[in-house]
A and B are shown apart, each in its own frame.
Chain A
Amino acid sequence: TQLLEQSPQFLSIQEGENLTVYCNSSSVFSSLQWYRQEPGEGPVLLVTVVTGGEVKKLKRLTFQFGDARKDSSLHITAAQPGDTGLYLCAGPLIQGAQKLVFGQGTRLTINP
């Protein structure tokens, strides 16, 4: 059983298009993190969302934490080839425990 369900798991779109990646759970999380990983490298933190309903923007990336803190989304506007990578959502099983559970990941390919 996957505690964090990411969808879609694979996405290939053309440069300039918009997209949304979802991270859903039946459990409440105290926070959720989004990471991007490129081949042969470790995941790099993009954002941490903590408050229900919170929206954070990172250039063309918009992250939202659901009001009930059970889900999150990542929206990319005008995708560019440099956005290609594996996007992972993750959250702590227990608040303050530091151990994270990860979603399956979304492999995003932006075609020029």
Chain B
Amino acid sequence: GAVVSQHPSWVICKSGTSVKIECRSLDFQATTMFWYRQFPKQSLMLMATSNEGSKATYEQGVEKDKFLINHASLTLSTLTVTSAHPEDSSFYICSTASGITDTQYFGPGTRLTVL
């Protein structure tokens, strides 16, 4: 399966600051990546689909101006949480699609804590 990395693995920031999370596909070129958030003891919630070279597609209820996604290359997608607030604290996970099947391969996640 594909190898996906995320950086940082955890981050603590003050309210009002912006935080950038990187997602890298290490062993294949990913035209599509996905961003999820996960609250404690809950399943994954899809936030947006990141498309290389074009705008991201956001799920209903996700603020695109707050969660900025950039997919400038086939191996890197970034999620920027702008003007973060405590309610944005969560576990953020990215994934890549294999392109052959509907299987996705997930990164290790980023724990964001906003004070």
Q: Which residues of A contact B (CB under 8 A)?
A: 30-31, 33, 35, 40-45, 48, 50, 88, 90-92, 95-100, 102-105, 107
Interface residues on B, range: 20 to 34
Chain A residue with Cβ nearest B102: A92
B42 beta carbon closer than 8 Å to chain A: yes
With a 10 A CB-CB cut-off, give which of A31, A48, A95, A100 has the most chain B CB atoms.
A100
- B: residues with CB less than 8 A from A are 1, 4, 6, 32, 34, 41-44, 46, 49, 91, 93, 95, 97, 99, 101-109, 111
Please, could you name 15 A-B residue pairs with CB atoms under 8 Å apart, sorted by A?
A31-B101, A40-B109, A41-B108, A42-B108, A43-B93, A44-B106, A45-B103, A45-B106, A88-B44, A95-B102, A98-B34, A98-B99, A100-B34, A100-B104, A102-B44
Contact B101–A42 (Cβ < 8 Å): no
Judge whether A41 and B103 touch: CB under 8 Å.
no
Q: Is the pair B107, A91 in contact by a Cβ cutoff of 8 Å?
A: no
Q: In the complex the two chains form, what is the Cα distance from A33 to B109 in whole Å?
A: 19
A45 touches B1 (CB 8 A): yes
Contact call B102/A105, Cβ cutoff below 8 A: no
Judge whether A43 and B32 touch: CB under 8 Å: no
